[in-house]
Amino acid sequence: MKYLSLPWDDMYLGPMTKLLDKALETVRRLPAGSQDEIARAMLHLAGQDEKPEPVDAAHLPAVLEGLSQANRKEFATDEEVEAAFRRFGP
C-alpha cells in the first residue's frame, strides 16, 4: 500500500533520510505484531522507551547472568560472534 504524501507532512514530521523512509515503507508491509516489535526497538535505540520490556520469569536467570557478565566486561570475542551467526546463515 502506498501512502499519500501531503505537502505539510514535513512540517509535522520533519525531514527524514531516504534510508529511514525506505525502512519505514518496508515495515508498513509487515504484520502488525512485527511492526510493533520494530517500533519498540526503534524507540529503545532513540532513547524514547516508555517502560522496560517485561522479562519472562523463565528467562530471568539468563538475563541476570548476562547483565552480570556485562558488568564484569566479559563479552564474546569477534570469532565467537561470527561462529554464532554462521550457525544461522546459509
Residues whose CB is less than 8 angstroms from the CB of residue 70 and which lie 6 or more positions away in sequence, other chains included: none
What are the pLDDT tens digits along the chain (90 aa)?
A: 455 555 545 555 667 889 998 999 999 999 999 999 999 888 888 887 667 778 899 999 999 999 999 999 999 999 999 998 888 876
Are 41 and 5 in the same domain?
Answer: yes
Are 89 and 65 in the same domain?
Answer: yes
Are 42 and 20 in the same domain?
Answer: yes
Number of domains present in the structure of the chain: 2
Are 25 and 6 in the same domain?
Answer: yes
CA distance linking residue 23 with residue 17, whole number of Å: 10
3 state SS for 15-44? CCCHHHHHHHHHHHCCCHHHHHHHHHHHHH
**pLDDT value of position 55:** 86
Are 17 and 42 in the same domain?
Answer: yes
**pLDDT value of position 54:** 83
Are 2 and 34 in the same domain?
Answer: yes
Domain extent, residue 33, equals 1-53
Give the three-state DSSP class for 80.
helix
**pLDDT value of position 68:** 95
Are 49 and 5 in the same domain?
Answer: yes
